[in-house]
Amino acid sequence: MAAIFYLSSRSGLPHLPGGLSSYSGHAIGYALLAALVLRALAGAKWEHVRGALAWRALLFSSAYGITDEFHQSFVSNRTPDALDWAADTAGAAFAVLLVMRIALARRRRARNV
């Protein structure tokens, strides 16, 4: 969250490497945030990763995206953008689904051992 806040506080940002769009940057940043939030909520244990925690991680990350866009309204040369928030939420959703699939696969593997 600190990295997102720091980057949002800057009036100008450098271009992303590899020609990635700013929406890709938003999605990647919020995917990392959501994965880390879900890990924290699950106590860093794969067996604790469940649907309710996944929803909380997604909602938290999406809500932080809204506050980040609001924060940008106070930064010169920056404006809040609903499409940025949509990219934030999409990235967070992707990460949550990926972590859920990994957790499910690990639980299935543990049962079969």
Q: 3-class DSSP state for residue 81?
A: coil
Distance between CA 87 and CA 82 in Å, rounded?
9
pLDDT given at position 11? 85
The two three-digit tokens of residue 70, written as one number? 């609001």
Burial of 64 (0-12, 13-18, 19+ CB in 10 A): buried
| pLDDT tens, position by position, 88-110 | 999 999 999 999 999 999 999 98
Q: Where are the domains of the chain?
A: 55-113
> Could you read off the pLDDT of 3-51 as tens digits, one per residue?
888 888 888 877 888 889 999 999 999 999 999 999 999 999 999 999 9
> Model pTM greater than 0.85?
yes
